[in-house]
Amino acid sequence: MDNWDEIRTAYHVARAGTVSGAAEALGVHHATVIRHIDALEARLGVRLFQRHARGYTPTEAGADLLSVAQEADHRFAQLAGRIKGHGGDVSGDLVVTSLAAFNHFLLPALADFQAEHPEVALRYLTGDRLFRLEYGEAHVAVRAGAAPDQPDNVVQPFFDQQVGLYAARAYIARYGQPDGTEALAGHRMVGAADLDSRAPHARWMTAEIPVASVVLRSDDVHAQWAAIEAGIGIGFMPCLRADSLPDLVCIAPPRREWAAPLWLLSHMDLHRTAKVQALTAFLKARVPGWTGA
């Protein structure tokens, strides 16, 4: 397409539904908007909008074109953000993504980072979907498991998250306290809903604990932790979180085979920006306090 201004104009007409709304958004005269739409339709040989008294409605062909225009507009906005990120100031939008299971240690750290850099506007994205750094969906990612191998990402070791087996004092009062993993027979357990979970501690539970002993399963780790705290059963919890809960008792201390390696990721295009460098350095400086090193 020779003239992207015309496509951008059509995109804004579709968003606003009127010529005047598009003109205001683009900062141009309404006659310019009409000229762009007419020229684009003439070039393509198809009607992109139905004109009516209330404004403009995209035709089927218009909807197809505008979906592409919307994606292009989104990509250009991401590109602009990435270009701006190459400045020397620690400021602007900073998007961090991780599993929600890391909230308990990441959010306090992010709060302290923002206190040091008040010009940073943080966004924290969690969820099972893998946010794509190469598409500009996030600046920094914290991921668990095997070392990520996505191309064009800078991968740095973060730390091994230690987990142990814990029970609430209420559970121990009702069912007794087992002396380590060898004495778990007959005890009630809390575990993951996915029996094929790749988490090291979940694999251990699947291999070592009878299915019938797991009285509550959930695909939400926060629900699992809440169940442990409520005294429903014994289960795995990150030591960082469990150590802050006085009503929990450690049944089995962390083992190397249960630990989950964590990684810091950033895209190669953004890795050297001031804000990404500042955040990754800040997080790595926190590791000794999280690991007891």
Distance CA 125, CA 131 (A): 8
Q: Which of 11-15, 111-115, 232-236, 254-258 is least confident?
A: 11-15
The pLDDT score that the predictor gives to residue 76 is 64
Q: Strand pairing of 55-58 and 92-98?
A: unpaired
Model confidence at 152, pLDDT cuts 50, 70, 90, reads confident
Where does 85-220 have alpha helices with state H?
A: 103-116, 169-175, 200-208
DSSP H/E element including 84? helix 60-84
Whole-model pTM above 0.75?
A: no
* CATH superfamily of this structure's domain 87-161+260-290: Periplasmic binding protein-like II (3.40.190.10)
* Residue position matching structure tokens 């539970």: 205
Q: In what order do the strands lie in the sheet with 235-238?
A: 235-238, 163-168, 248-252
Most confident of 74-88, 115-129, 201-215: 201-215
Query: What is the per-residue pLDDT across 108-123, written as a single tens digit (0 to 9) for each?
Result: 999 999 999 999 999 9
Per-residue CA distances from 160 to 47, 144, 145, 209, 264 (Å): 59, 9, 10, 24, 12
Q: Do domains 4-84 and 87-161+260-290 have the same CATH topology?
A: no
Note whether 251 and 167 are within 8 A (CB).
yes
pLDDT surpasses 70 at 37? yes
Model confidence at 79, pLDDT cuts 50, 70, 90, reads low
Those residues with Cβ within 8 angstroms of residue 273's Cβ, 6 or more apart along the chain or in another chain? 85, 86, 87, 139
φ, ψ for residue 154 (rounded to 5)?
A: -90, 120
Structure tokens at 45: 């040989």
Any idea where the domains of the chain sit in the sequence? 4-84, 87-161+260-290, 163-258
pLDDT surpasses 90 at 149? no
The pLDDT score that the predictor gives to residue 27 is 85
What is the average pLDDT across 239-249? 95
Model confidence at 214, pLDDT cuts 50, 70, 90, reads very high
Q: Which of 48-62, 83-97, 107-121, 245-259 is least confident?
A: 83-97
Q: What's the CATH code, domain 163-258?
A: 3.40.190.10
Those residues with Cβ within 8 angstroms of residue 66's Cβ, 6 or more apart along the chain or in another chain? 10, 11, 14, 48, 58
Is 4-84 a domain of CATH 1.10.150.120?
Answer: no
pLDDT surpasses 60 at 157? yes
The one-letter amino acid at 228: I
**In 10 A of CB 87, how many CB atoms?**
12
